[in-house]
Amino acid sequence: MDDLEVGFLLDAVDFVARHGEAFLPLYDFDLFDGAWSKKDDSTCLRRFSLQAALQAGRVDETPMPYEERQARYSAYLHEALELANELQRQDPSGQHVLEGTLGELQFFTLPECCINPETRSKHRQLMAKIKAIFNR
């Protein structure tokens, strides 16, 4: 990685820290395994494993010129900022906090689908068990 790529990654992490909350309505949170997934994402990723890496062939790609990468990185961050601003203007649903002791332990906001276990039927029993444990 060169300085341009490192700078872009640092800018992207900073962007998520500042604006990430605005993107929560676009994702579902799975209370069972803690995974976040994009609601309208039909992407099928290749299997990621050590075996797959060992079987992969070597690819010699010519890197994009510095100026083109710089322009793209800047455009990506600008587009993300525009989307964050648009999502913040929509004022989706505010912050959602779990009830009882779970809410005291919660350090992040949740989308509405996580708070209302009726919308996530497969996790209804798990939510009840977790609440029972913490509300004793």
Tell me if 48 is assigned to some domain.
Answer: no
Question: Alpha carbon of 26 to those of 79, 83, 109, 125, 126: distances in Å?
Answer: 16, 11, 13, 25, 24
Q: Is the pLDDT of residue 79 over 90?
A: yes
Tell me if 60 is assigned to some domain.
Answer: no
Tell me if 46 is assigned to some domain.
Answer: no
Tell me if 103 is assigned to some domain.
Answer: yes
Task: Find how far residue 46's CA is from the centre of its chain.
Answer: 19
Dump pLDDT digits (tens) for 5-62. Answer: 999 999 999 999 999 888 887 887 777 777 788 888 777 766 778 888 888 877 777 8
Residue 112 domain boundaries:
3-39+65-134
Tell me if 20 is assigned to some domain.
Answer: yes
DSSP of 73-105, one letter per residue? HHHHHHHHHHHHHHHHHH--S-----SHHHHHH
Tell me if 29 is assigned to some domain.
Answer: yes
Tell me if 45 is assigned to some domain.
Answer: no
Query: What sign does the CA torsion over 46, 20, 83, 118 have?
Result: positive
Q: Quick one: tokens of 88?
A: 């913040």
Only one residue has tokens 């500042």, namely 18
Per-residue pLDDT at 73: 97
| Residue % of the chain over a pLDDT of 70 | 66
> What total of structural domains would you count in the chain?
1
Tell me if 51 is assigned to some domain.
Answer: no
Q: Quick one: tokens of 41?
A: 């994402």
